[in-house]
Amino acid sequence: MRSGAAWWFVTPALLVIAVFFFLPVLAALALSLTDFDIYALADRGNLRIVGLRNYAQLLHTPLFWQAFGNTLYFVVVGVPLSIAVSFGTALLLHSRLVKFPSVFRTALFAPVVTTLVAVAVIWRYLFHPHYGWLNYALGRLGLPAIDWLGDPRWAMPAIIVFAVWKNFGYNMIILLAGLQSIPDQLYEAARIDGASMGRQFRYVTLPLLAPIVTMVSILTIAGYFQLFAEPYVMTQGGPLQSTVSVLYFMYEEGFKWWNLGSASAVAFVLFLFIFGVTALQLWLARWQSAA
């Protein structure tokens, strides 16, 4: 076959990706080594190369550290919670006792396809300290009301609750497909050997699902590090900057203050961090399956 024809098929897509993704990523690295700001935006003559100064400056910016800490908080609490809910609902849906599996699956999955900004507006109202359903429910349980989005201690937990609601359905579908791919004979064999439900789960389900769980957690962690729209709509980073995420910080640094050099450095730090965490997880998974 002539390879000439093949190029007609791949070139348009590759060109778009090269020009509008690979090139900007490389440019971001270069830009992060400059002091590109609003003056350089007006006149490129004001642009200077400053080496790693943007990175050094970030390390001395308290808000950057806070944004980093807030994002870590969101990832460290949000990801396990999110995957636990996905796993729990996937197991329930997999049960043979479910009456209407496809109805439940659709209902549980629905938040995933909704528009983040729109449902964030709904949840901002559900979290309302006076009129919100959450505090109404707490009141019915005899618990004190919480100023969810107005209290620096509660704003991030509130965003985590919202994010879990919005996202768990995606991993639920993946884990459910994983559960369905485990052959019945394995469970049957375990039953014949007298294994209880708990032991079947421990020695059949978990080991066979381990690669999928690893993949799901890698993707979810990378996704949760990219927290942005939730705080933008629900809290605008507040109160007391308790919900400023790394990307929210980058957005303000770049597109509010027009410190584009520094914003590129923020983006790269985030990328390197996600990359490091992903590599670590892959290494752990390999190490575990080898052991």
Partner 1 sequence: MTRPVAGVLVNALLLGGATMTVWPLLWMVSVSLMSPGEASTFPPPLLPVRPTVANYRELFAHAGMGRYLLNSTVLTITVTVVSVSLNVAAGYAFAKLRFAARDRIFKVLLGALVIPAQVAMVPLFLMLKHLGLVNTYGGVIVPAMASIFGIFLVRQYALSVPDDLLEAARLDGANELRIFRSVIVPVLRPIVVTLALFTSLGTWNDFMWPLIVLSDSERYTLPVALASLSREHVQDNELMMAGAVLTTLPVLLVFLALQRYYVQGITMGSVRG
Q: Which of residues 146-185 bind partner 1 (CB under 8 A)?
A: 165, 169-170, 173-174, 177-178, 181
231 part of the interface to partner 1, by CB under 8 A? no
From the CB of 121, what's the least distance to partner 1, in Å?
A: 5
Cβ proximity to partner 1, 115 vs 291, nearer residue: 115
Cβ proximity to partner 1, 43 vs 291, nearer residue: 43
Name the token pair of 206.
């978990």
Name the token pair of 87.
């796993």
Residue 146 CB neighbour total at 10 angstroms: 18
Cβ proximity to partner 1, 149 vs 291, nearer residue: 149
- Residue pair 154/235 in contact (Cβ under 8 Å)? The answer is no
21 part of the interface to partner 1, by CB under 8 A? yes
- With CB under 8 A as the contact rule, which of the stretches 53-61, 65-73, 200-208, 224-232 interacts with partner 1? 224-232
The burial of 2, by beta-carbon neighbours within 10 Å (0-12 exposed, 13-18 middle, 19 or more buried), is given as exposed
User: In angstroms, rounded to a whole number, what is the distance separating the alpha carbons of residues 121 and 144?
Assistant: 24
235 part of the interface to partner 1, by CB under 8 A? no
User: In angstroms, rounded to a whole number, what is the distance separating the alpha carbons of residues 198 and 87?
Assistant: 15
From the CB of 224, what's the least distance to partner 1, in Å?
A: 12
- With CB under 8 A as the contact rule, which of the stretches 15-23, 64-72, 152-160, 187-195 interacts with partner 1? 15-23
8-state DSSP, 126:
H
141 part of the interface to partner 1, by CB under 8 A? no
8-state DSSP, 128:
-
Name the residue among 278, 71, 88 with its Cα closest to residue 168. 88
From the CB of 171, what's the least distance to partner 1, in Å?
A: 9
CA 25 to chain centre: 20
125 part of the interface to partner 1, by CB under 8 A? yes
Residues 95-114 that bind partner 1 (CB under 8 A): 95, 97-99, 103-104, 106-111, 113-114
Count the residues of the shown chain that bind partner 1, applying the rule CB under 8 A.
Answer: 91
- Residue pair 227/74 in contact (Cβ under 8 Å)? The answer is yes
